[in-house]
Amino acid sequence: AQTVTQSQPEMSVQEAETVTLSCTYDTSENNYYLFWYKQPPSRQMILVIRQEAYKQQNATENRFSVNFQKAAKSFSLKISDSQLGDTAMYFCAFMLLNAGNMLTFGGGTRLMVKP
């Protein structure tokens, strides 16, 4: 079975600064996908970024980028130029290819962006 670990239950960052959220996972499989989802307080969970394991290039979406280290089984999320609207719960998630599209979530990291 796959597991996903987010070792930082809570983090804070000053507005306009950069913050990195960590995620590690455990699998013996080679073909999978990794995701970061953002869930603002009382609001919808939305996809931030997606990474295919077969791609060596790190995925980026505007101010959000990942550092994907396949050998180390690490998938951290970097948020640059943090904004107040980035305040949210962030979930790292793992999905095996050809295994029913099921997500395995980490425990989440609560990020607070301070003005």
Partner 1 sequence: DAMVIQNPRYQVTQFGKPVTLSCSQTLNHNVMYWYQQKSSQAPKLLFHYYDKDFNNEADTPDNFQSRRPNTSFCFLDIRSPGLGDAAMYLCATSRDLIGNTQYFGPGTRLTVL
Going by the DSSP 8-state scheme, the letter that residue 99 receives in this structure is S
Give whichever of 16 and 46 is closer to partner 1, judged by the CB atom. Answer: 46
Paired tokens of 60: 């980026």
Rule CB under 8 A: say whether 44 interacts with partner 1.
Answer: yes
Return d(Cα 82, Cα 90) in angstroms, integer: 14
* Beta partners for residue 4, in sequence order: 25
The single residue among 36, 37, 68, 75 that binds partner 1, judged by CB under 8 A, is 37
Rule CB under 8 A: say whether 112 interacts with partner 1.
Answer: no
The single residue among 35, 36, 75, 94 that binds partner 1, judged by CB under 8 A, is 35
Return d(Cα 93, Cα 25) in angstroms, integer: 9
Give whichever of 39 and 65 is closer to partner 1, judged by the CB atom. Answer: 39
Residue 38 CB, nearest distance to partner 1 (Å)? Answer: 11
Question: 45-64 b/e with 16+ CB inside 10 Å = b?
Answer: eeebbebebeeeeebeeeeb
Q: Which residues contribute to the site for partner 1 (CB under 8 A)?
A: 33, 35, 37, 43-47, 50, 52, 89, 91, 95, 97-98, 100-103, 105-108, 110
